[in-house]
Amino acid sequence: MRDEAGLSDEDVVARVRSGDSAVFEILMRRYNQRLFRAARAILRDDADAEDAVQQAYLAAYAHLDQFAGTARFSTWLTRIAIREALGKLRTRKRRGEVELDVQQEETMMKDEPDETPEQYANRRELSGLLEAAVDQLPEIYRVVFMMREVEQLSTSECAEVLELSEEAVKVRLHRARAMLRDGLFAKVDKSLSSTFPFLGARCDRIVAAVMAKLPPRRLPD
């Protein structure tokens, strides 16, 4: 389903609430990358992050009537994804599971069609270095860095999503940058948008998995 740019999030939510479950896909495709990046910042594992995102969508769908519109829908949805990721992280810690580094997929789509193979390889190498460095940040700094620098949320929206003060967001972002500053951040600043990529195949996989699990919504009386 194409993202109907003329529809606001609230428009789509209203249609889903009225029984048109199929348009929930629009919301997923709009926010898959943001939710994946938020979940991965916490879990540091691609597969676990995908699972957390799927669970977040199912939870959001089930509790869609609880969305009151007092915050942006994207903020409400991202909070759910973060809670799902934190819940999964707590489960892993209780089980004593060891967190392993997961290699990024090698078969990546090119962002720039005119890129030479050498340019593409160099860009991915730089992005890989940054991804590895970000993974080493403490969680409280890693999540803020991911939301502000990679996903490019504003300070105010990042504060809303993470339920922090704007000052706390600024302080944590400053400290995250300081931890990365040993020559790495400046080198890969222009590559931030290509880090932790959300590939078409992954996006389609999450959409298909969630859509298959959505129950029909009951029409309002």
The CATH number of whichever domain residue 138 belongs to comes to 1.10.1740.10
The reply to whether 60 falls in a domain is: yes
The reply to whether 35 falls in a domain is: yes
Q: Which pLDDT belongs to residue 190?
A: 54
- Cβ 180 vs Cβ 133: under 8 Å: yes
pTM, entire model: 0.70
The span from the CA of 49 to the CA of 178, in Å, is 26
Which tokens hold the place of 171?
A: 């302080």
Q: Which pLDDT belongs to residue 16?
A: 94
Q: Which pLDDT belongs to residue 199?
A: 66
The span from the CA of 220 to the CA of 162, in Å, is 32
Residue 8 main-chain phi, psi, to 5 deg: -75, 165
The reply to whether 175 falls in a domain is: yes
Domain that holds residue 70: 9-98+117-213
| pLDDT tens sequence across 119-149 | 656 556 666 777 888 888 888 999 999 899 8
Q: Which pLDDT belongs to residue 14?
A: 93
| pLDDT tens sequence across 155-210 | 999 999 999 999 999 999 999 988 887 656 555 565 666 667 776 778 888 888 89
Q: Which pLDDT belongs to residue 113?
A: 47
| Total domains, the chain | 1
Which tokens hold the place of 18?
A: 């009225």
The reply to whether 4 falls in a domain is: no
Comparing 6 with 145, the larger pLDDT belongs to 145
